[in-house]
């Protein structure tokens, strides 16, 4: 068993880490507080080719496997979780198009998506349907060479920049079970009836927009049906979300790492009773606990990424997402405690990390629902422990 990265992965991580330390860490807190969109950082992501991490090489992408994919999101989230969000939804959508799109769809979209000339997201969540995707109400009615799409999507990352925005819809609202009537449509920017109505205010996860999207009799060409066949949307989305759970696990590790780094640095410089507080056992115990669970979470995240590289891994990715997201929140809270009153101040990084960490247990399926996914995989014998 080898728990280390190979030489290529180490070099890749070094490039990412240098970029994050140089272009993200120095500005993240200030730009978040200003509500500033990170245009310059996005340009840096383009220069590194990161918009193409899940695009096949034949279309100009990097076509990374799950392990280097996880590396990207750990490092970006260590700097600013919102930046990881900009790239995250884009990457999942690109993978879905690359894996399930028709030859024409791949050729039309993927080369520009790989460079960041085009960007994308993924339209799943609705006002009355989040983790329960079969409960969506957005419908697509066939009308000659178009679908007439009606519905509302919520919490859509990259909505104002997405072109196209893949949207999960019901092409047969009466199908039983519901997933057999679900499809994905690639909705181009500027489509009549497609409107991004508002940015949703958020506790954290700043830097990227999360929007409400309304489809009011939007006319989407039939050739924009992902894969060219109706009824396959749920399977297409779930294949992307498996990578999405690796994404969230890795982001969680990045947040936890930054929380630990901030707590350790502060404990060494903060003086109390003429000694740095790192000399006190109560603080040492917190640092040791955070470091221990952080390293366990990192191993879990990359174990899950490796499992995805080997095949279907619902249980492994579910376990990793659950554990890593809870470690991220625990690390952020403990880091705030090490900072004392200053941890509650917006002048320090840890309060931002705390606000970002909370989302990790909710995004890509809530942890409670994922526990049932893991349990069903175990009961059915599709996964095992030990």
pLDDT score, position 383 = 84
Statement: residue 1 has pLDDT above 80 = no
Co-location of 215 and 310 in the same domain: no
Residue at a domain's end among 115, 144, 173 = 115
Question: What pLDDT is stored for residue 385 in this prediction?
Answer: 87
Instruction: Show contacts of 200-206: CB within 8 Å, 24+ apart.
Output: 200/154, 200/155, 203/355, 203/358, 204/81, 204/352, 204/354, 204/355, 204/356, 204/357, 204/358, 204/359, 205/81, 205/82, 205/85, 205/355, 205/356, 205/359, 206/32, 206/35, 206/82
| 138 assigned to some structural domain | yes
Residues 141 and 33 in one domain: no
Dihedral sign for Cα 143, 128, 160, 91, please.
negative
385, part of any domain: no
pLDDT interval class at 131 (50, 70, 90): confident
Asked if the structure places residue 338 within a domain, the reply is yes
Query: What's the farthest any 2 CA atoms get from each other in the chain?
Result: 79
Q: Does the pLDDT value for residue 2 go beyond 80? A: no
Q: Is residue 386 part of a domain?
A: no
Residue 184 and residue 268 in one domain: no
Token readout for 4 is 């280390």
Extract the tokens encoding 352.
């931002």
Rounded Cα distance between 183 and 168, Å, is 6
Question: In which region does residue 92 sit, left (phi positive, over 0), alpha (psi from -120 to 50) or beta (all else)?
Answer: alpha
**Which has the minimum average pLDDT: 146-150, 238-242, 258-262, 295-299?**
238-242
Q: Does residue 209 carry a catalytic annotation?
A: no
End-to-end CA gap in the chain: 14
Domain presence at residue 123: no
- Of the candidates 365, 324, 342, which has an alpha carbon nearest to the alpha carbon of residue 73? 324
Q: Residue 317 and residue 334: Cα distance in Å, rounded? A: 25
- In this structure, the answer to whether residues 320 and 367 fall within a common structural domain is yes
d(CA 339, CA 262): 9
* Pair of tokens at residue 130: 């989040």
Cα separation, 188 vs 118, in Å, equals: 11
User: Is the predicted pLDDT of residue 21 greater than 90, yes or no?
Assistant: yes
Indicate whether 1 belongs to any domain: no
155 in the same domain as 214? yes
- Pair 289, 371 in one domain: yes
Number of residues that this document lists for the chain: 386
Give the chain's domain count.
3
Q: Residue 130 pLDDT > 90, yes or no?
A: no
Bridge partners of 131? none
pLDDT band per the 50, 70, 90 thresholds, residue 144: very high
d(CA 313, CA 238): 11
CA of residue 37 relative to chain centroid, distance: 18
Instruction: Give pTM, 2 decimals.
Output: 0.96
Which of 126, 212, 326, 364 is flagged as catalytic?
Answer: 364
pLDDT in tens, 77-105: 999 999 999 999 999 999 999 999 999 99
208/297 same-domain check: no
Tens of pLDDT, residue by residue over 33-70, are: 999 999 999 999 999 999 999 999 999 999 999 999 99
Residues 265 and 349 in one domain: yes
The residue segments making up the domain with residue 141 are: 133-229
Please tell me the distance from the alpha carbon of residue 23 to that of residue 79, in angstroms, as a whole number.
9
Residues pairing with 151 in the sheet: 215
Is 224 in contact with 243 (CB distance < 8 Å)? Answer: no
Query: Are residues 364 and 251 part of one domain?
Result: yes
Instruction: Give the separation between CA 196 and CA 169, rounded to whole angstroms.
Output: 17
Domain assignment present for 175: yes
Residues 13 and 93 in one domain: yes
- Supply the DSSP symbol for 200: P
How many CB atoms within 10 Å of residue 66? 23
Q: What is the pLDDT of residue 220?
A: 98
- Taking the C-alpha atoms of residue 130 and residue 114, their distance in angstroms, rounded to an integer, is 28
For residue 150, name the pLDDT band (cuts at 50, 70, 90).
very high
CATH code of 77's domain? 1.10.540.10
Residue 67 confidence (pLDDT)? 96
CA distances (Å), origin 305, targets 7, 137, 201, 271: 18, 33, 32, 41
Do residue 152 and residue 213 come from a single domain?
A: yes
Q: Which of 115, 142, 168 is the last residue of a domain?
A: 115
- Across the range 308-327, mean pLDDT stands at 95
CATH number reported for the structural domain that contains residue 167 in this entry? 2.40.110.10
Tell me what the mean pLDDT of segment 176-195 comes to: 97
* Residue 48 forms part of a structural domain: yes
- What is the Cα–Cα distance from 78 to 84, expressed in whole angstroms? 9
pLDDT at position 270 over 80: yes
* Residue 251 and residue 371 in one domain: yes
The confidence band for 355, taking pLDDT boundaries of 50, 70 and 90, is very high
Q: At what angle do helices 281-310 and 66-79 cross, to 10 degrees?
A: 150
Question: Do 345 and 336 meet the contact criterion of CB atoms below 8 Å apart?
Answer: no
178 CB-near residues (< 8 Å, 6+ apart): 134, 135, 170
Q: Is the pLDDT of residue 208 over 80?
A: yes
Average pLDDT along the chain: 96
- Beta-bridged to residue 6, according to DSSP, are none
Q: What totals of helices (H) and strands (E) does the chain contain, helices first?
A: 11, 8
């Amino acid at each position: 068993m080898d728990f280390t990265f190979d030489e290529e992965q180490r070099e890749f991580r070094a490039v990412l880490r240098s970029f994050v330390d140089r272009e993200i860490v120095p500005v993240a807190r200030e730009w978040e507080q200003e509500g500033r969109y990170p245009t310059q950082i996005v340009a840096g992501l383009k220069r590194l080719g990161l918009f193409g991490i899940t695009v096949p090489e034949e279309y100009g992408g990097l076509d990374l496997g799950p392990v280097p994919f996880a590396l990207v999101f750990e490092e970006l989230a260590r700097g600013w979780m919102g930046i990881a969000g900009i790239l995250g939804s884009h990457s999942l959508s690109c993978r879905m198009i690359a894996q399930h799109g028709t030859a024409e769809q791949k050729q039309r979209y993927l080369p520009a998506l790989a460079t960041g000339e085009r960007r994308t997201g993924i339209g799943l969540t609705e006002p009355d349907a989040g983790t329960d995707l079969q409960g969506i109400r957005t419908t697509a009615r066939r009308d000659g060479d178009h679908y007439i799409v009606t519905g509302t999507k919520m919490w859509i990352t990259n909505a104002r920049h997405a072109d196209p925005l893949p949207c999960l819809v019901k092409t047969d609202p009466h199908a039983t079970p519901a997933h057999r009537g679900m499809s994905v449509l690639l909705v181009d920017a500027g489509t009549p009836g497609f409107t991004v109505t508002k940015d949703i205010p958020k506790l954290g996860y700043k830097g990227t927009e999360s929007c409400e999207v309304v489809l009011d009799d939007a006319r989407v060409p039939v050739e924009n049906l992902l894969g060219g066949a109706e009824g396959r949307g749920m399977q297409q989305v779930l294949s992307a979300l498996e990578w999405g759970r690796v994404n969230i696990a890795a982001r969680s590790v990045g947040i936890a790492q930054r929380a630990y780094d901030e707590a350790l640095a502060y404990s060494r410089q903060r003086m109390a009773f003429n000694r740095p507080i790192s000399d006190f056992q109560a603080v040492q115990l917190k640092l040791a606990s955070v470091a221990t669970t952080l390293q366990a979470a990192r191993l879990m995240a990359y174990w899950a990424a490796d499992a995805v590289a080997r095949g279907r891994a619902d249980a492994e990715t579910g376990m990793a997402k659950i554990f890593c997201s809870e470690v991220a929140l625990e690390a952020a809270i403990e880091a705030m405690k090490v900072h004392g009153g200053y941890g509650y101040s917006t002048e320090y990084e840890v309060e931002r990390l705390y606000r970002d960490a909370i989302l990790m247990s909710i995004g890509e399926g809530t942890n409670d629902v994922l526990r049932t996914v893991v349990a069903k995989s175990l009961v059915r014998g599709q996964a095992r422990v030990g």
